[in-house]
Structure 1
Amino acid sequence: MNISYKKLTLTELDIFINMRITQLTEEYVSSGRTVPTDVDLQAALKDYYDRHLADGTFVSWLAFDGDKIIGTSGMSFVEKPPYFGCPTGRLGLLSSMYTNPDYRRMGIAKELLNRVVEEAKAYGCGAVHITASDMGVKLYTSYGFEHNGNFMQYKL
């Protein structure tokens, strides 16, 4: 096994998108939900990543075993009015954390997480947020993430 890491470029984007859809599908199924068949995530994700990779508001690190992508990470950068907990107003929104099942529990996700958190620091973010899957809670808690019991969502 020869694990290496590199930043996502347009060259890997199609594979990255497919892995993101695999991740989302896995999360839906493991939570007992039915995967929607009327949503074209492929086109929506391609549009999102094209725009946000270009303007620097999305960054991803990938893990490789040789030429094969085995893990992904992602960080979107957003800005909101500054507040006491985040005086810069810049936030990192963590997403796309996925490791191929054959490579789990080997420290790959932790390394990918560390790399995108460092990107958030470099961008000037004062905090990183994530909506964690059940599988990811242990990783994020061990890294130092804390639960925010007040997080709520309103679907439009």
Structure 2
Amino acid sequence: MSITYRKLTEEDLDVFIRMRIAQLREEGAKEDVDLAEPLTEYYHRHLADGTFVSWLALDEGRIVGTSGMSFVEKPPYFSCPSGRIGLLSSMYTAPAYRRRGIAKELLRRVTEEARAYGCGTVQITASDMGVLLYTAFGFEKNGNFMQYKL
């Protein structure tokens, strides 16, 4: 196994979106809408304007791991004076490739993208499976995270 890494391109979107949906299903998300079209529109738009970036892990040209970072801006606050935040998503490794350091390398690369963009912090809503990876990397739990569904 020789894993290589590169950034997501428009040509990768079909596979990337299939893997994103597989990830959501694996995490137990309630599948009450078809996400393929809204995801396609989102990724096309945000890849084009530079507010989404993804690194991929490939084995002989086949995508086996994904990452994603959306860049958003909020009013500056003390722990993030730039107001720029990276929202981590799409962290997924195909089951046969897990526990080999792929997710850690993808996380390293995509957080460097956030640093380069000027983000002061990176946030994620972690799956149970991901908590160990993110904690080992240096993420800290914020018990105040809440969500209001509209």
Asked if TM exceeds 0.5, the reply is yes
**Equivalent of residue 107 in structure 2, options 106, 113, 116:** 113
Once residues 81 and 9 of structure 2 are traced to their aligned partners in structure 1, the CA distance between those partners, rounded to angstroms, is: 31
Letter matched to residue 128 of structure 1 = V
> For residues 1-156 of structure 1, what are the structure 2 equivalents within 5 Å?
1-28=1-28, 35-36=30-31, 38-156=32-150
Letter matched to residue 155 of structure 1 = K
Letter matched to residue 26 of structure 2 = E
Once residues 54 and 10 of structure 1 are traced to their aligned partners in structure 2, the CA distance between those partners, rounded to angstroms, is: 9
SS in structure 2 at match of 1:102: helix
Once residues 44 and 27 of structure 1 are traced to their aligned partners in structure 2, the CA distance between those partners, rounded to angstroms, is: 19
Letter matched to residue 149 of structure 1 = G
Once residues 152 and 22 of structure 1 are traced to their aligned partners in structure 2, the CA distance between those partners, rounded to angstroms, is: 25
Identity of aligned residues (%): 73
Letter matched to residue 21 of structure 2 = I
Once residues 49 and 66 of structure 1 are traced to their aligned partners in structure 2, the CA distance between those partners, rounded to angstroms, is: 24
TM-score (norm 1): 0.95
SS in structure 1 at match of 2:27: helix
| Alpha-carbon shift at residue 2 of structure 1 (Å) | 1.3
Once residues 74 and 104 of structure 1 are traced to their aligned partners in structure 2, the CA distance between those partners, rounded to angstroms, is: 18
Q: Please identify runs of 4+ aligned residues in structure 1 that moved more than 3 A.
A: none
TM-score (norm 2): 0.98
Q: CA offsets per residue over residues 94-147 of structure 1, 9 Å max, x none?
A: 000000000000000000000000000000000000000000000000000000
Q: Gaps (5+ residues) in structure 1?
A: none
| Alpha-carbon shift at residue 40 of structure 1 (Å) | 1.4
Once residues 67 and 81 of structure 1 are traced to their aligned partners in structure 2, the CA distance between those partners, rounded to angstroms, is: 41
